[in-house]
Every structure is written in C-alpha cells, then in structure tokens.
Amino acid sequence: MTTGAPTPGGRTTTGTEPATGTEPTTGTDPTTDEQTMSDQHPTTDDTDGAVDAVHETAALPETDAQPFAAQPAAPVPADLPHTAGGAPHTPPRGPFRAGDRVQLTGPKGKLTTLSLETAGEYHTHRGVLRHDDVIGQPDGSVIRASTGDEYLALRPLLNDYVMSMPRGAAIVYPKDAAQIVAFADVFPGARVVEAGVGSGALSLFLLRAIGPTGRLQSFERRAEFAAIAQGNVGTFLGAVPDNWSVTVGDLVEALPEATEPQSIDRVVLDMLAPWECVDAAADALVPGGLIVCYVATVTQLSRTAEALRDTGRFTDPQSSETLVRTWHVEGLAVRPDHRMVGHTGFLVTARRLADGVVLPNLKRRAGKTEFSDEDVEAWTPGAVGERSASDKKLRKVARQAAAQARKVAAAEASDGAGTDEGDR
C-alpha cells in the first residue's frame, strides 16, 4: 500500500463516540480531519492496551455454508458468515432492529453512525439517546434524546458506511470509487482483480457493480488489512459472498497462480508502486481489458503512465482527478460552500492491446520523458519514511470489524427465526 499522511479518524461507534459520515474536506473542522487520501495511507494512532491476535477474535456464528477462511490463500477471520452464489446485497427494510447500523443527524447537522444494541445508549454532552427508542421505529424517523433534542435516524447508504467503518488503512472515498467503477466500466458479470484491498471500501463498490454473476479477486500484502476488509464487507452485506476472494501476498507473484492468462476483464491497482505490476496485469487481462491505477502523488502518476507506455501492451494512458464542490442553497442565498473535497488521488486508465499489436505513434511535442529512480524517489512517500499502522492498532480494528459483522449476522439470524415462526 502507498504510504503518506495519517487517515481520518472516522470509526464505527458503539453508542459513546460520534463518527463523521461525510467526506473530509480541505478546510479544518473539529469533526473532520484534513487527510483525504486513498487506501494507500495507513493510520498511525495507537491508543489502546494489549490486544489479541486477529484470528483469535474474528470467529463469527457458525453457518452450514463453507467458511470464507477456506478460500484460497486467505488467513483471515475463521467462520465468517458466507453467502453462497454471490447473491447481491439487498439493504435492510422495515423497522430498525438490534444489530442494525443507524446514521443520526443531530440538531446542528452533525452525523453520527452507531450500531443499535438492546438497552444501549448514545451519550452526548447534550443528553442521552436510548437505542431502544430507535429499535422498532421505521427508517427515516425522528428520535428525541433525554434533553428533547431531535435526531433524524436513517439507515446509512453505502457511501455513508464506508466513511464510518473500522479502518486499518485509509479508504478510497466514494467520489473516487464512483469514478473507478465508471471509468473502468465495471459491469455485472465482470471478472475483476483488485490489488491493495486496504479496509475494503473499494471492494464493496466493486462487488455491487459486478453483481452475483461476476468475480472479484482481491490481493493484499498485509494479513491484518485483509482481515479488516473482510469484517467490513461482512458487516455491510450481512455475509461474505463467495464470488469474492482475498489472497494475502504480492500481486506479481500471486496473480499468475490465481488466474489464467487473458482471463480478467478489469484490473484495479491501489498501491505504492503500481508500475511494478503492469506486466502481470497485462498478462492477466483479456485483449481490450482495462487497467485503472489509483495513485496519490504527481510523481507516482508520471511513473505509472510511463510504465504503461513502456510495456507496449496498452493504449496511451488517460489521467484525471475528481474534485467535488457542494453548494449552499437556501432561498435566494445560492453560493458555493466555503469548503470542498479537494485532491484525494489520480486515476490512470489504459486498455490492453491484442498480442503483437503496435500502438500507432501519436503526434505530440517533444518533452522530457526520461527519468531515473532517483528522480522519482526524491518525491515519493518512501523518501520521507513509511508511516505504517502498528500491529496493535490493526489487531484492534480487525476485532472491531469482526465484532460488527457478528452483530449483523446475529440480527439476520434472529429476523429469519421470527419470520419462520410467523409463517407457522
């Protein structure tokens, strides 16, 4: 994974700690950190006491289906709830239940995401909101706290969820995930390879795009990140679909063993040095397939684009970034908001050429295209030292993600049992 500044502090809450539900912006705000990078940037805070190993805390309720840990090269939480057939996720409907996630909008518009628990309480400096007052209410209800303050309760959307889920590495933010799905033309039934799974945010968007007939193969170098990603995906989907696999290892070494040559439709690279993987990606892609690289810095962008050109196996790469600016609209007071979502990363896309095809030369002005490793290293995160999340922090986040997945699985099982009794 690419390294850089620390990730924002958005985390899943259990009723005692608010978490922001919007994308970080370029301004400063006490509820939102300034960091707006991708899965490439691990977190660095480390405030909790001793923790156990990931695999010792990740066990979830037993199911009749094959546990996800049995999938290839995935030493991640055992007995994770498993969905056969890769069925698409249907968001919960009806009244809120214990185990559901709810997004609360407070009196001042602040967003808080928490998991509902029987007899649970959400404490603020302005009073207490009881979880039992939310459970049983329909989606879109207004709940009163002990002080009389009103909170709007809604089930979080996918983009809300990824902004508040447990993370060991910073996430690919919704604005970039949407562009990746669109620019990579990820379609239902697509065979997609993702390298750099991070906390699983992009995996969720890709799984939704490929549908039940597609296949997503994710590769991650760190087992801790893989565990966190699986816990997050299991939480949002209610179970881990069997059309998704996570392989712990280096993409260059693992991809040829996991896929047949020219069998993949799309390759998405979110890592420190994607230029090291373009040959492996070219071998796996079908002719006409597409590679998209998500990089944080200008020098990474340059080196990735030149590496794609140097292979002679791709079309001329296209590069872009996405900026989002919201507007204040109240009556005649219509103006851009003072704060906006600025730079998060660059996207580089290229199409795979058929074997033996030589791309026609494009007419362009002569420019400096040669560079050395020293030129690149002078401005990459490696030059200033990698800021990796500690093992203790990652184990904590993995436990948090797995615990949330257990709650969701228990809620689904309880709801199913109630339905069966009603039928009888």
Residue-wise pLDDT tens digits, 18-71 = 334 444 444 333 333 333 333 343 333 333 333 333 333 333 333 333 333 334
**Cβ contacts of residue 305 below 8 Å, gap of 6+?**
317, 319, 348
Torsion of CA 94, 97, 101, 107, to 10 degrees: 80
Strands (E), 232-370: 240-241, 244-248, 264-269, 285-295, 318-320, 327-330, 333-336, 346-351
d(CA 124, CA 114): 13
| Local confidence band at 421 (pLDDT 50, 70, 90 cut-offs) | low
- Whether 276 has a pLDDT exceeding 50, the answer reads yes
Q: What is the DSSP letter of 118?
A: T
Residue 20 is encoded by which pair of tokens?
């922001």
**Cβ contacts of residue 108 below 8 Å, gap of 6+?**
none
- pLDDT of 124 reads 87
Torsion of CA 130, 132, 133, 137, to 10 degrees: 140
Give the model confidence (pLDDT) of 61-119 as tens digits: 333 333 333 344 454 455 566 665 565 567 778 899 988 889 999 988 888 888 899 99
- pLDDT of 171 reads 86
d(CA 50, CA 313): 49
| Local confidence band at 218 (pLDDT 50, 70, 90 cut-offs) | very high
- Whether 329 has a pLDDT exceeding 90, the answer reads yes
- pLDDT of 38 reads 38
The Cβ-side half-sphere exposure at 115, using a 13 Å CA radius, reads 22
pTM of the model: 0.72
| Local confidence band at 366 (pLDDT 50, 70, 90 cut-offs) | low
Amino acid at 207: L
Bridge-partner residues for 153, per DSSP? 104, 141
8 A C-beta contact, residue 151 and residue 143:
yes
